[in-house]
Amino acid sequence: MAEFEPRIVAFLCHWCTYTGADLAGTTRQQYPPNVRVVHLMCSGAVDSIYVLKALIDGADGVLIGGCHPGDCHYQTGNYKARRRVAILKGILQQMGYTEDRVLLKWISASEGKLFADTVTKMVDDLKKMGPNPMKQLWNA
């Protein structure tokens, strides 16, 4: 059987992490092709439903990328994301997600390598965790 390849949906803010992901490309950082990017203006615009929908649909992990504290283009969007994710993690536990499949990460526009490293590590971690249990439920 082929090795399990996790699927990650990433919600990246325009000003920092999306541009950082672009820089990863410009500098030819290589990372596994398991991630799919949704481009948003701000990490504060990541509605909880986006994350929940991705997980319920069967994504193995969700990455939310925003600006470092103090650097948010919209002043405080990243803090809003941080609070939202903190609450969301509690709800996900209740839903039966015992492992941490949602990663909130501050990656600036100049941290292309950090973006590549983050995705690489997340793929490794998710491989250890195994597939999203919800997906198995659908396939049963």
Partner 1 sequence: MKKLGVFICHCGVNIAGTVDVKSVAEKIGKTEDVAHSTDYIYMCSEPGQQIIREAIREKGLDGVVVACCSPNMHENTFRKAVKSQGMNPYLCEIANIREQCSWVHQKEKGEATRKAEEIIHATLEKVRKNESLEAIAVAVNRRVLVVGGGIAGITASLDLADGGYEVILLEREPALGGHMAQLSKTFPDLDPAFGGLLSKASEVEKHPKIQLHCYSELEDVKGFVGNFDLVIRQKATSVNGAKCTGCGLCIENCPVEYVSEFERGMGIRKAIDMPYPGSVPNKAVINRQHCRYFLDGSCHRCEEVCPEKAIDYDQEEERISEKVGAVVVATGYELYPKEQLGEYGYGEIPDVIDGLAFERMLAPNGPTKGKIVRPSDGKVPKEMVFIQCVASRDPDRYMPYCSRICCMYTAKHATIYKEQVPDGQPYIFYMDIRSDCKGYEEFLQKTIEEKGLLYLRGRVSRVFQDNGKVRVLGVDTLTGKMVEVAADMVVLATAIVPSPGVKELAAKLRATVDRHGFLTEAHIKLYPVESSTKGIYLAGCGQSPKDISDTVSQASATASKIQALLSTDKLLQDPLIAFVDEGICSGCGICVEICPYEAREMDSHRGISIVHSALCQGCGACIASCPNFACELRNSASNQILKMVDTFVT
Give contact residues for partner 1 (rule: CB under 8 A): 7, 9, 15, 19, 21-26, 28-33, 36-42, 44-50, 53-54, 57-59, 70-71, 73-77, 80, 84, 116
CB closer to partner 1 out of 73 and 99: 73
Instruction: Count other C-beta atoms under 10 Å from residue 66's C-beta.
Output: 32
CB closer to partner 1 out of 57 and 100: 57
Q: To the nearest whole angstrom, how small is the minimum distance from the Cβ of residue 84 to partner 1? A: 7
Q: To the nearest whole angstrom, how small is the minimum distance from the Cβ of residue 39 to partner 1? A: 7
Instruction: Count other C-beta atoms under 10 Å from residue 114's C-beta.
Output: 19
Q: How far apart are CA 54 and CA 8, in angstroms?
A: 9
Give the helix/strand (H/E) hosting 118: helix 112-129
Q: How far apart are CA 17 and CA 3, in angstroms?
A: 29
Q: How far apart are CA 28 and CA 5, in angstroms?
A: 22
CB closer to partner 1 out of 30 and 94: 30
Q: To the nearest whole angstrom, how small is the minimum distance from the Cβ of residue 23 to partner 1? A: 8
Q: To the nearest whole angstrom, how small is the minimum distance from the Cβ of residue 86 to partner 1? A: 14
CB closer to partner 1 out of 75 and 93: 75
H helices then E strands: how many in the chain? 5, 4
